[in-house]
Structure 1
Amino acid sequence: MKKSDIKFQIELDEKSLPKAITWDASDKEGEGLESTKSISLNIWDNLNQSTLRIDLWTEDMSVVEMKRFYIDILGGMGQTILNSTGDEYMSEEIKDLCDRLVRHVNEENSKI
Structure 2
Amino acid sequence: MSTISTIKIQVGLDDQKVPESIAWSATDNKDEKMIKAKGMIVSFWDPAEKAALRIDLWTKDMMVDEMADFFFQTMMTMADTYGRATPYKDQADELRAFAKDFFKKFQDKQAAEGQ
Bin the TM-score by the shorter chain: over 0.9
CA distance in 2, matches of 1:31, 1:54: 22
Query: TM-score, length-normalised on structure 1?
Result: 0.93
The number of residues matched between the two structures is: 112
User: In the alignment, what sits opposite 1:48?
Assistant: 49
CA distance in 1, matches of 2:103, 2:4: 37
CA distance in 2, matches of 1:5, 1:53: 18
Instruction: Confirm or deny that 1:73 pairs with 2:82.
Output: no
User: In the alignment, what sits opposite 1:85?
Assistant: 86
Shift in Å at residue 29 of structure 1?
Answer: 5.1
User: In the alignment, what sits opposite 1:28?
Assistant: 29
Shift in Å at residue 105 of structure 1?
Answer: 1.8
Gaps of 5+ in 2: none
CA distance in 2, matches of 1:16, 1:89: 42
Shift in Å at residue 67 of structure 1?
Answer: 1.2
Which residue identity is paired with 1:18?
P
Instruction: Confirm or deny that 1:39 pairs with 2:40.
Output: yes
Instruction: Confirm or deny that 1:64 pairs with 2:65.
Output: yes
Which residue identity is paired with 2:45?
W
Which residue identity is paired with 1:21?
I
Identity %: 29
CA distance in 1, matches of 2:30, 2:100: 30
